[in-house]
Amino acid sequence: MKVIGKDTQRVDGQALVKGNPVFADDIKLNNLLHVKILHSPVAHAKIISIDVSKAQTLEGVESVFTHKDFNPHYYTTAGQGYPEPGPRDMRILDSKVRFVGDRVAFVAAETLEIAEQALSLIEVEYEELPCLFDMEEAMTSDVIIHSNPDKTGLHDAAHNVAAHLDAEIGDVDKTLESSKFVFEGTYSTPFVQMASIEPHISLTWLDENNRLVIRTSTQVPFHVRRIVAEVMGIPVSKIRVIKPRLGGGFGGKQEILNEELVAAVTLKTGRPARIEYTRAEELFAARLRHPELVSFRLGFDENQMLTAIDLNILENCGAYGPHALTVMSVTAQKALSMYKAPSIRVNGDGVYTNLPIGGAYRGYGAPQAFFPLESLMDEAAETMGIDPIELRLKNVFKVGDDIPIAKILGEGREGFPMVLYSTEIEACLEEGRILSDWERLRSEPGNGRYRRGIGVAVAGQGSGIPGIDMGAAFIKMNEDASFNLQVGATDLGTGSDTALAQIAAEVLGVSVDKIIVYSSDTDMTPFDTGAYASSTTYISGSAVKKAAENCKTMILEQGRLLLGNETAEIDGTFVKDGNGQSISFEDICIKSFYTEEQKQIMGTASHLSYDSPPPFNATFAEVEVDTLTGTVRVIKIVSVTDAGQIINPKMAEGQIEGGIPQALGMALSEFMPFDDKGGPINLDFNSYHIYTARDMPELIVRFADSHEPTGPYGAKAVAEIPINAPAPAVTNAVYNAVGVRIKHLPIRPEEILGAISRNRAN
């Protein structure tokens, strides 16, 4: 292959490093209105009265919106396929608030300062209601967070259960009873935030034909168009959504977060409008990873082979359930797609509480699964007296295996049968074993104040949502043998535009700089479900490959016609007939434009897959625990990934190197404390600690040689997989260092100190 597997320059690299105006906010709009949201100061209350007269009369205020300005209409902000799998439990503005940060009103004004001042002039009288912060309490309480019967898709509103799932294959209880070993434990993961450097930002205006244009930092432009049309009650044909370059999304922008607010302002006033979340708003009023309380029971026979996996999930949805069902489904699916066990069962509830809203965040439920699963595998290995790597090698799914959970549990609905066509997890473990110096570090007994330890964890993910995710591409030829590639797929900083250009270039036999990529604009580019679920390379990439092949077929047909020889074939960027006659791609295109057989050479295609081949990863963490302070320092991470054929090694490495710090943040430094009234405390990057370059350990990132037969040129996904295994690898390393088993993230030094002193006392 000429282009696939090579480090080509990013198609957007020059523009980004030069600081060219590429992002949503990099345009100037005349007559612009600035929009600010009044967020609820209380966690659960009815709005008794709301007086906007003072705000409305403030000089420079154009308009103030409250729930009285909108018809009661329930929708979901989740940017997912239609009909949506989750509950429709949210209004643009409601007469009830359900968490500190909920929307009470919004203001459009001439300047940001005036908008902020206007917020302080809105007088709201709240009737406070009892608050539910604990999931178990929420399920038994008389307090109901969503009581309006017009809401649809909630599993059990009376018990505050947004979503529920259960599935069983075999007989788990019986199998566990007769198993030689059973390991069980309950683990929890915290609220963590995507912390995209570019916040949520949306701009709207009316174009010359009075159509609403939305320029927004989104992963899902086509879902934005559909949902805004619905909420505003205007036809899809009246809306154009433009997705410029994004400064990160990580799932947080798989959401209609504020597009409907600026749309409402522009539709009412006819003026352009702009909204940008502050960092504080990102942290409490955007979306967070759902905290989950996950219990596993693992059964093993005398040969250390898994007999049964029993999984129970409590998922904290916060105040609304946009991704309630699907995140929990992914927790279950991914946990049950790693190891072969004859009996498996899952039971899960997604529970409403008066806390910020859980949404999509890279991994989408899988990090919550692998932390407990891989911790218990570590415990099982120790008790059964087998090396943790060996235990995993024995039990992982192998090529040709059927993955039974895939069929009974899709994302929010029944799934599709799935056979594993590619897995190099064994190679990942073996390479990591060597690169991490596993044998030596494992056998070195620690002593003194600083104890070193090493741990391992494995994980899988998916490549798009089977039977749901669809990508489409349109490619047209220009007279210098360049091609415009138009895709609905959404590069959110991942580099997917470049990967898609490489796929097109490989098919067409041209260099990557001949492919001009445009993504995405609902007026200009074909439909795509959007960039989530690690779908872009695998799904949209397959659409691009087919579209490029169709385009190439047309080049050949035109070439044969022009040569007058039906047996001519493509050779490089020429069509040759074997008798010494040839015509270049350029000439074929020019002649097709202006002389004979006039037509545009172009190709289109769509792609949907019933497969979702899992990429796999093995992560090895080396840590140092200070037994005097309880602090943990990660010294080194070795991450070996099977993502199928790598399209662009540098960019793929970048994906892994970006996922690891997010995972280490969840393991060690990121969490969201609340005061006793549900008020968020960490509202900036001084208190909410994301991993920075300064905190990073030594990283060794490798890819296994792999080929996925169903993927474009053998590719699988690489976007989400790196975030799943680092946290359990770190906690397993902590156990190896000081014998303390961490069950609740993030790791707290006081917990380690307490456990060390208890261990000493025993």
The C-alpha atoms of residue 65 and residue 269 are separated, in whole angstroms, by 12
Q: Which of residues 101 and 251 has its CB atom nearest to ligand SMO in the complex?
A: 251
The first and second tokens of residue 760, run together, are 């000493």
Smallest distance from ligand SMO to CB 82, Å: 17
Kindly give the residue spans of alpha helices, DSSP state H, lying in 564-647: 585-594
Smallest distance from ligand SMO to CB 411, Å: 10
Report the Cα 261 to chain-centroid distance in Å: 24
Distances 655 to 175, 315, 370, 541, 658 between C-alpha atoms, Å: 40, 27, 19, 17, 5
Q: Which of residues 496 and 558 has its CB atom nearest to ligand SMO in the complex?
A: 496
Restricted to residues 562-581, the positions that interact with ligand SMO (CB under 6 A) are none
Say if CB 259 and CB 231 are below 8 A apart.
no
The C-alpha atoms of residue 309 and residue 298 are separated, in whole angstroms, by 5
Q: Which of residues 117 and 219 has its CB atom nearest to ligand SMO in the complex?
A: 219
Q: Is 494 in the site for ligand SMO (CB under 6 A)?
A: no
Restricted to residues 100-129, the positions that interact with ligand SMO (CB under 6 A) are none
Say if CB 544 and CB 486 are below 8 A apart.
no
The C-alpha atoms of residue 314 and residue 328 are separated, in whole angstroms, by 8
Smallest distance from ligand SMO to CB 330, Å: 8
The C-alpha atoms of residue 23 and residue 16 are separated, in whole angstroms, by 9
Q: Which of residues 287 and 591 has its CB atom nearest to ligand SMO in the complex?
A: 287
Restricted to residues 504-533, the positions that interact with ligand SMO (CB under 6 A) are 532-533
Smallest distance from ligand SMO to CB 720, Å: 7
Q: Which of residues 248 and 679 has its CB atom nearest to ligand SMO in the complex?
A: 248
Q: Is 223 in the site for ligand SMO (CB under 6 A)?
A: no
Residue closest to 555 by CA, chosen among 512, 618, 599, 617? 599
Say if CB 483 and CB 551 are below 8 A apart.
yes
Q: Which of residues 47 and 531 has its CB atom nearest to ligand SMO in the complex?
A: 531
Q: Which residue is nearest to ligand SMO (CB)?
A: 251
Q: Which of residues 93 and 360 has its CB atom nearest to ligand SMO in the complex?
A: 360
Q: Is 364 in the site for ligand SMO (CB under 6 A)?
A: yes
Q: For the residues of 183-209, what is the DSSP string, one character each?
A: EEEEEEE-------SS--EEEEEE-TT
Q: Is 360 in the site for ligand SMO (CB under 6 A)?
A: yes
Please tell me whether residue 673 adopts helix, strand or coil conformation. Answer: coil
Phi first, then psi, for residue 553 (nearest 5°) are -60, -40
- Block residue for tokens 């805004």: 228
Number of residues that bind ligand SMO (CB under 6 A): 9
Smallest distance from ligand SMO to CB 289, Å: 9
Q: Is 254 in the site for ligand SMO (CB under 6 A)?
A: yes
Q: Which among 128-136, 354-362, 479-487, 605-613 is the span making contact with ligand SMO, rule CB under 6 A?
A: 354-362
Q: Which of residues 251 and 630 has its CB atom nearest to ligand SMO in the complex?
A: 251
Q: Which of residues 296 and 532 has its CB atom nearest to ligand SMO in the complex?
A: 532
Q: Is 362 in the site for ligand SMO (CB under 6 A)?
A: yes
Q: Is 200 in the site for ligand SMO (CB under 6 A)?
A: no
Radius of gyration of the chain from its Cα atoms, rounded to whole angstroms: 27
Q: Is 251 in the site for ligand SMO (CB under 6 A)?
A: yes
Q: Which among 181-189, 271-279, 358-366, 608-616 is the span making contact with ligand SMO, rule CB under 6 A?
A: 358-366
Q: Is 331 in the site for ligand SMO (CB under 6 A)?
A: no
Q: Which of residues 74 and 532 has its CB atom nearest to ligand SMO in the complex?
A: 532
Q: Is 222 in the site for ligand SMO (CB under 6 A)?
A: no
Q: Is 256 in the site for ligand SMO (CB under 6 A)?
A: no
Burial bucket for residue 634 (CB in 10 Å: 0-12, 13-18, 19+): buried
Q: Is 205 in the site for ligand SMO (CB under 6 A)?
A: no
Phi first, then psi, for residue 657 (nearest 5°) are -65, -25
Residue closest to 425 by CA, chosen among 402, 452, 391, 450? 391
Q: Is 361 in the site for ligand SMO (CB under 6 A)?
A: yes
Q: For the residues of 267-312, what is the DSSP string, one character each?
A: HHHSS-EEEE--HHHHHHHS-EEPPEEEEEEEEE-TTS-EEEEEEE
Q: Is 272 in the site for ligand SMO (CB under 6 A)?
A: no
Task: List interacting residues with ligand SMO (CB under 6 A).
Answer: 219, 251, 254, 360-362, 364, 532-533
